[in-house]
Amino acid sequence: MEYAKNILETIGNTPLVQMNALVEGIDALVLAKYETFNPGNSVKDRMALKMIEDAEADGRLQPGGTIIEGTSGNTGMGLALAAIVKGYKLICVMADKQSKEKIDILRAVGAEVIVCPTNVEPEDPRSYYSVSKRLGEETPNAWYVNQYDNPSNCKAHFESTGPEIWDQTDGKVTHFVVGVGTGGTISGVGSYLKMKNPNVKIWGVDTYGSVFKKYHETGVFDENEIYPYVTEGIGEDILPANVNFGVIDGFTKVTDKDAAVYTQRLAKEEGMFLGNSAGAAIKGVLQLKEHFTKDDVVVVLFHDHGSRYVGKMFNDDWMRERGFLDEEVSTAADLIKDHVDKPLVTVKTGELVSHAIERMRKFKISQIPVVDANNSFVGSVDETTLFSKFIENKDIADTYILDIMEKPFPVVHHKTVIDDISKLITKDNQAVLVDLGDHVHHIITKYDIIKGIG
């Protein structure tokens, strides 16, 4: 009989799958290293097991100990599987930009999950880097994994992923393309492939808001390159020790929108239900196509599974809110379709300015239509007006809306084209009302127009 003695023995030996629809414009053969076939549904199973085995071997991880790691989710899942089989406790520290599915999955397999803010400096004591390191120091019988600097991360891919790709392509691989986060995959695979054939080109996929591409090209760690981004699993605001820049031939950067859009396209056009970094990776391949010839064999590695992104990249409402859906936007109705279900916020002529200010604060809006007792639009209030009136009179909060309101916002039909709407928004008029029929109206602001045509 043929069977694995435990789930850890099923890690590795993932298939190569030919890409078709999305790479029609590329002459080379493009093959996907499909890492979701690992038991934890990601490439991180490989290095998680390797890091644990090496820590056991040299005594850093003791029987019954606690494993602590900062993770975007996938490494945590690999560590969780190994912890279950080997009898360890696991604490995962994650940034709050990671999908809810990742957090829920880790808790489902018994991990304790601590969520930290994303938009803080790495050295900030609240960052997931700092929190995981501190817990590793404070927790009795604990081992802090530190996948970013742990050499076993890179070693796992040198010993398994790289040899698999070489053997599966019969040594014909000419390019390897992969998203870069901790650096273990690109450095381990890249080192192995270049050892077998120095002419193999190793390409990293980076994201805007990350430092890798500029650092590789200039040697400058530019803090101006660092800002929040949506794409999960790739890019960093630090330089992990596992990123071997000497092995990498070049980087290409992919936008958050393209990464998200191509994550959906992989599912709908290739039948590949994959994670966010896969969308970035295949878009990176398309951006690099001038580097490939008809005789080349390009291997792109897809990290993880789409089930971890159902509430994000596979949710059209989430995509629409961020302007990631490539939908035709030409009329007033198109501009408001992502929030048309929300009621129009108004203020009555007989209410006080303080009521308008409170509604602006509550609903995070800058303009409010004014209605009379018959709910007819008779005026408007915006933050610019309120500010100028406040300069004139510090007691404006107790003034009636009727006494400070400006003229009503223009009202347009829901089929009015964007160009005509744009002409109505001026320095003196900050919004337009849309008549949706049956006495239902909505509001369009400058932000809606910018978002719609952006």
Name the residues annotated as catalytic: 44
Angle between helices 74-86 and 100-108 (to 10 degrees): 0
Phi and psi, residue 95, nearest 5°: -85, 150
Q: Among all chains, which residue has been given the structure tokens 């077998």? A: 196
Question: Are 406 and 353 spatial neighbours (Cβ–Cβ below 8 Å)?
Answer: no
Question: Are 298 and 281 spatial neighbours (Cβ–Cβ below 8 Å)?
Answer: no
Within its chain, how far is the Cα of 79 from the centroid?
22
CA dist 340 → 317, 419, 434, 444 (Å): 12, 20, 10, 10
Strand 250-254, strand 66-70: pairing: unpaired
- Name residue 31's beta-bridge partners: 18, 299
Question: Are 313 and 279 spatial neighbours (Cβ–Cβ below 8 Å)?
Answer: yes
Residues sharing a CB contact under 8 Å with residue 200, sequence separation 6 or more, in sequence order: 173, 174, 175, 176, 190, 193, 194
CB atoms within 10 A of CB 444: 25
Residues sharing a CB contact under 8 Å with residue 246, sequence separation 6 or more, in sequence order: none
Cα–Cα distance measured from residue 382 to residue 69, given in angstroms and rounded to the nearest whole number: 48
Enter the tokens of residue 95. Answer: 């940034």
